[in-house]
Structure 1
Amino acid sequence: MAPKFGTSGLRGLVSDLTSELIGDYTRAFLAACPVGRGLYIGRDLRASSPEIAAAVARAARAEGVAVTDCGAVPTPALALAAMAAGSAAIMVTGSHIPADRNGLKFYLPGGEITKTDEAAILSALGRAPAGLSAPLSQADAATPWVQRYIRAFGPEALSGLRIGLWEHSAVSRDLIAGALEGLGAEVLRLGRSETFIPVDTEAVPAEIRARIAAWCREHGLDALVSTDGDGDRPLLADERGALVPGDLLGQITARALGAEVVVTPVSSNSGVERSGAFSRVIRTKIGSPFVIAGMEAAGGRVAGYEANGGFLAGFEAQMAAGALAPLWTRDSLLPLVAPLALARASGRSLSALIAAEPARFTAADRLEEIAPETSRALMARLEDGHFTALLSPLGESLSAQDRTDGLRLHLASGRVIHLRPSGNAPELRLYTEAESPEQAGDLLARGLEVLKAHLA
Structure 2
Amino acid sequence: MDAISFGTDGWRATLDVFTAPRVRMVGQAVATHLDGRDAPVGVCYDARESSRGFAEELARVLAANGFDVLLPERDRPTPLLAWAIADRDLAGGLMVTASHNPAEYNGVKFIPDDGAPALPEITESIEANLAEPEPLPEAEWGTIQETDFVASHAEHAHDLVAEYADETTLDDLTVAYDAMHGSGRGVTDELLAGAGASVERLRCERAPDFGGTPPEPSAEHLGELATHVQDGDASLGIANDGDADRLAVVTPDRGYLDENLFFAALYDFLLESASGPAVRTVSTTFLVDRIAEAHGESVVETAVGFKWVARAMAETDALVGGEESGGFSVAGHVREKDGVLLALLAAAAEREEPLDERVDRLLDEHGEIHQSKISVDCPDDEKARVLDELEGELPDRVAGEPVADVVTKDGFKTVLESGAWLLVRPSGTEPVLRVYAEAESEERVAALLDAGEELVAPLV
Question: Separation in 1 of the partners of 2:326 and 2:393?
Answer: 32
Question: Separation in 1 of the partners of 2:4 and 2:429?
Answer: 8
Structure 1 residues 4 and 413, CA, compared in 2 at 3 Å: closer, same or farther?
A: same
Superposed displacement of residue 385, structure 1? 1.2
* Alignment match of 2:46 (pick from 39, 44, 49): 44
Name the amino acid aligned to 1:176.
T
Question: Separation in 2 of the partners of 1:38 and 1:446?
Answer: 52
The residue number in structure 2 matching 1:309 is 326
- Does structure 1 residue 74 correspond to structure 2 residue 77? yes
Structure 1 residues 59 and 213, CA, compared in 2 at 3 Å: closer, same or farther?
A: same
The residue number in structure 2 matching 1:322 is none
Question: Separation in 2 of the partners of 1:376 and 1:37?
Answer: 41
State whether residues 36 and 86 of structure 1, in contact with CA within 8 Å, keep that contact through their aligned partners in structure 2.
no
Structure-to-structure mapping, 1:224-303, within 5 angstroms: 224-255=237-268, 256=270, 258-275=274-291, 276=293, 277=295, 279-299=297-317, 302-303=319-320
Question: Separation in 2 of the partners of 1:14 and 1:384?
Answer: 41
Superposed displacement of residue 245, structure 1? 3.0
State whether residues 43 and 93 of structure 2, in contact with CA within 8 Å, keep that contact through their aligned partners in structure 1.
yes
The residue number in structure 2 matching 1:318 is none
Question: Separation in 2 of the partners of 1:153 and 1:27?
Answer: 38
Q: State, as a whole percentage, how many aligned pairs show the same letter.
A: 24
Name the amino acid aligned to 1:338.
L
Task: Give the secondary-structure state (helix, strand or coil) at the position aligned to 1:137.
Answer: strand
Question: Separation in 1 of the partners of 2:169 and 2:45?
Answer: 30
Superposed displacement of residue 312, structure 1? 2.3
Structure 1 residues 379 and 172, CA, compared in 2 at 3 Å: closer, same or farther?
A: same
Question: Separation in 2 of the partners of 1:211 and 1:446?
Answer: 31
Structure-to-structure mapping, 1:391-402, within 5 angstroms: 398-402=403-407
State whether residues 239 and 349 of structure 1, in contact with CA within 8 Å, keep that contact through their aligned partners in structure 2.
no
Task: Give the secondary-structure state (helix, strand or coil) at the position aligned to 1:333.
Answer: helix
Name the amino acid aligned to 2:300.
I
The residue number in structure 1 matching 2:152 is 144
* Alignment match of 1:352 (pick from 357, 380, 386): 357
Structure 1 residues 23 and 306, CA, compared in 2 at 3 Å: closer, same or farther?
A: same
- Greater shift in the superposed pair: 252-261 or 167-176: 252-261
**Deviation per CA, 1:254-310, whole angstroms, max 9, x where unpaired?**
4516241222221121122211235332111111221222122224x5432222232
- Does structure 1 residue 341 correspond to structure 2 residue 345? no
* Alignment match of 1:166 (pick from 178, 185, 191): 178
- Greater shift in the superposed pair: 125-134 or 65-74: 125-134
State whether residues 6 and 127 of structure 2, in contact with CA within 8 Å, keep that contact through their aligned partners in structure 1.
no
Q: Number of paired residues? A: 436
Q: What TM-score do you get using the length of structure 2 for normalisation?
A: 0.84
Structure-to-structure mapping, 1:94-243, within 5 angstroms: 94-112=98-116, 113-126=118-131, 129-132=134-137, 133-153=141-161, 157-192=169-204, 194=207, 195-196=209-210, 197-201=213-217, 204-205=218-219, 207-208=220-221, 210-243=223-256
Superposed displacement of residue 209, structure 1? 5.3
Gaps of 5+ in 2: none
The residue number in structure 2 matching 1:321 is none
- Greater shift in the superposed pair: 412-421 or 163-172: 412-421
Task: Give the secondary-structure state (helix, strand or coil) at the position aligned to 1:327.
Answer: coil
Question: Separation in 2 of the partners of 1:302 and 1:217?
Answer: 32
Q: What TM-score do you get using the length of structure 1 for normalisation?
A: 0.85
- Greater shift in the superposed pair: 240-249 or 18-27: 240-249
State whether residues 216 and 241 of structure 1, in contact with CA within 8 Å, keep that contact through their aligned partners in structure 2.
no
Superposed displacement of residue 395, structure 1? 5.7
Task: Give the secondary-structure state (helix, strand or coil) at the position aligned to 1:329.
Answer: coil
- Greater shift in the superposed pair: 163-172 or 149-158: 149-158
